[in-house]
Chain A
Amino acid sequence: DQQVKQNSPSLSVQEGRISILNCDYTNSMFDYFLWYKKYPAEGPTFLISISSIKDKNEDGRFTVFLNKSAKHLSLHIVPSQPGDSAVYFCAANYGLLSGGYQKVTFGTGTKLQVIP
């Protein structure tokens, strides 16, 4: 049962253009959504998060949008840089007061290639 899904395994974008990575989820009880970036043979690193009560969160070149009715979120990277080339994972967890708060569920990842 894949509760967090990333349907695009890969994406190629020209340097300077916008990268849009998508994520869908099935569990409406998730309270927080996060994006992680991963280079080969390394652990993922946290990028940005959003609460389910918000529809947008921005941090520099990275913006996450949440559409709760569609159970969909997306990560926008503008402008894209070659150093952004990595695998991006979407993740979700329940709120602090919910049982299972500590359990974090990840998607399958999208490999982004930014072409110089």
Chain B
Amino acid sequence: DGGITQSPKYLFRKEGQNVTLSCEQNLNHDAMYWYRQDPGQGLRLIYYSQIVNDFQKGDIAEGYSVSREKKESFPLTVTSAQKNPTAFYLCASSIRDRGSGANVLTFGAGSRLTVL
């Protein structure tokens, strides 16, 4: 089955530590995304990548870094510079819907990061 795999599902981190969240897709999608979900704030875009070796900052990129060395993989590093890292992180990839032309995202199951 094609889809997006995020790991780990749950992660605990001590303050001051960097942590990397994995995202792998086998959908052959060109674009990949990282969103963060907090209660009452919906989904906020951290970074997105349209093609390999290219990525753009989203609305809340400070304290995060990404890489896109392979089409299938888009890991997110939460650095110690991120002030409030405890959140639910969602990775997605996209393809244009042939019917409407809309950019339809397929999401992974998410990773919950808790900073102790």
Interface residues of A (CB under 8 A from B): 6, 9, 31-34, 36, 41-46, 49-51, 57, 89, 91, 93, 95-96, 101-109
Contact = CB atoms under 8 A, between A and B. Distances in A.
Interface string B32-66: 01010000111111001010000010100000000
Given A42-B110, A104-B94, A89 B100 contact: no
Contact of A49 (B33, B41, B50, B100): B100
A91 B102 CA distance: 10
Which interface residue of B56, B92, B104 has the most chain A CB atoms within 10 A?
A: B104
B94 A102 contact: yes
A43 B109 contact: yes
B90 interface: yes
Contacts of A43: 4, 90, 92, 107-110
Given A44-B107, A102-B94, A89 B102 contact: no
B101 A46 contact: no
Contacts of B103: 32, 34, 93, 101-102, 104
Q: Is the interface of B mostly helix, strand, loop or mixed?
A: strand
Interface in B1-40: 4, 31, 33, 35, 40
Interface residues of B, number: 32
Interface of B: 4, 31, 33, 35, 40-45, 48, 50, 56, 58, 88, 90, 92, 94, 96-97, 100-110, 112
Contacts of B104: 34, 46, 49
17 contacts: A32-B103, A36-B105, A43-B4, A43-B92, A43-B107, A43-B108, A44-B105, A45-B107, A49-B104, A51-B100, A89-B42, A96-B96, A103-B58, A104-B45, A104-B94, A104-B105, A108-B42
A101 B95 CA distance: 11
Nearest to A1: B59
A50 B45 CA distance: 21
Given A42-B109, A102-B48, A32 B102 contact: yes
